[in-house]
Amino acid sequence: MNKSCSAEIKPIQKNKGTEKDIRTLTGYRLSVLGIFLILLVMALALSIAIGSTRFTLKELFHFLFVETDSTKHKILLKIRLPRSLAAGLVGFCLSLSGAILQGVMRNPLASPNVIGVSAGAGFAAVLIFILFPGFYYLATPAAFLGAFGTAVLVYILAWKGGATPLRLILSGIAMASFLSAGSNALMVFFPDRIQNVIGFLVGSLSGSTWQHVFGLWPYALVGLFLSFIFADQLNILLLGDETAVSLGLKVERIRIIFLVIASLLAAAAVSAVGLLGFVGLIVPHLARLIIGSNARYLLPGSALLGAVVVMLCDLIGRSVIRPLELPVGIIMSILGAPFFLYLLRKGGLHRGGKSK
């Protein structure tokens, strides 16, 4: 069996007499969350200001709120602002989903891809774009239903007197492979229609509108609220099923709740932007290294950091080869793969200390 499937997120063992981990201090954690929030505001300002037409902060304020009948106001309000907000919300949802899944499955390689969400969304979108091109406007809702439906099916397939993390991961991998094969088969049979679906498969924010923003923010807000409410249960779940049961936790019920939250978050993000890899895998690890593994702080920290990362990656994609642009999914993979290998070499794929 592949060792990566059964690897658990293990706590760092500290020698007696060593100094207390600063990441266990409440003041430090709150300060880090504050810094992440400041970075989010800065990333949003940069993302809106930089592009084919550049704006200073003063000009941003002027054309957004004062000179509201100008062409620059329309550029900012109808193109830059919704795209930047959509990028932030996508990163927010995917990173929060990844952090939840890594905790629930106690596996450092868990991400929305593992439970088949991305493959389900991709297959549904390919189906609409290729077989029903006249109904292209149904691609987003179809991708959402495909993503969430796949997550439900994975859980059903993994159920055998309960759904253990290992069975969930193996079922998710199997479903992802099956659905990816279906998507590839459709593209082979209809090569003349592939162009319509390329943007979705690589993960692109180029067509983001206010409709995407309005469709994403309720999931982000509700997902963050629910994950905060159940954060203590996730901390207990990290101790292992047997220990969690002995402490009175209804393991299967809590696992289902978290999987539903993670699936809805990932489904909303993927249906809006397409198949965006590495965000739900890398960002939670980076947040864990900085803020620690207590879910009460790790979950909001991952969400905020994910929003920052995706906005900056989208900004890089729009800036490096002007007037052309690279999809955010490509930039994320280019930057994410080396960072993941760095974490692997440095032993960073574990829980960053016990939950306290």
Instruction: Kindly report, residue by residue over 229-270, the tens digit of the pLDDT.
Output: 999 999 998 888 888 888 888 888 898 899 889 888 988 898
Q: What pLDDT is stored for residue 348 in this prediction?
A: 57
Q: Which residue has 């998507």 as its token pair?
A: 183
The C-alpha atoms of residue 97 and residue 91 are separated, in whole angstroms, by 10
How far apart are alpha carbons 228 and 59 in whole angstroms?
38
CB contact set of 182 (below 8 Å; sequence gap of 6+): 123, 126
* Domain 25-346 belongs in CATH node 1.10.760.10: no
**Of 83, 91, 81, whose CA–CA distance to 55 is shortest?**
81
- For the segment 61-76, the average pLDDT, to the nearest whole number, is 84
pLDDT (mean) for 206-211? 88
Give pTM, 2 decimals.
0.86
pLDDT for 294-336, tens place per residue?
999 999 999 999 999 999 999 999 888 877 888 999 999 888 8
Q: How confident is the model at residue 353 (pLDDT cuts 50, 70, 90)?
A: very low
CA–CA separation, 65 and 53 (whole Å): 18
Q: How confident is the model at residue 32 (pLDDT cuts 50, 70, 90)?
A: very high
Q: Answer yes or no: is pLDDT of 14 > 90.
A: no
* Mean model confidence pLDDT for the chain: 85
- What distance in Å separates the CA atoms of residue 235 and residue 292, rounded to the nearest whole number? 12
As given in the structure block, the two tokens for residue 95 are 């990173």
- Domain ranges in the chain are 25-346
pLDDT band at 83 (very low <50, low <70, confident <90, very high): very high
Predicted local confidence at residue 17, as pLDDT: 45
C-alpha dihedral over 187, 193, 196, 202, to 10 degrees? Answer: 30
Q: What is the pLDDT of residue 271?
A: 85
Burial class (CB in 10 A: 0-12, 13-18, 19+), 161: exposed
Give yes or no for residue 213 having a pLDDT over 80. yes
Give the CA distances from residue 26 to residues 16, 30, 291, in Å, rounded to whole numbers and listed in that order. 22, 6, 10
Q: Measuring CA to CA, how many Å separate 92 from each of 86, 89, 166?
A: 10, 5, 26
Report pLDDT for 113.
81
Q: Residue 351 pLDDT more than 70?
A: no
User: What is the spatial distance between Cα 181 and Cα 169, in angstroms, rounded to a whole number?
Assistant: 18
pLDDT of residue 8: 47
- Of 225, 244, 246, 242, residue with least CA distance to 300: 225
Q: Please report, rounded to a whole number, the percentage of residues in the chain having pLDDT higher than 70.
A: 91
What's the pLDDT band for 352 if we cut at 50, 70, 90?
Answer: very low
| 57 Cβ contact list (under 8 Å, min separation 6) | 45, 49
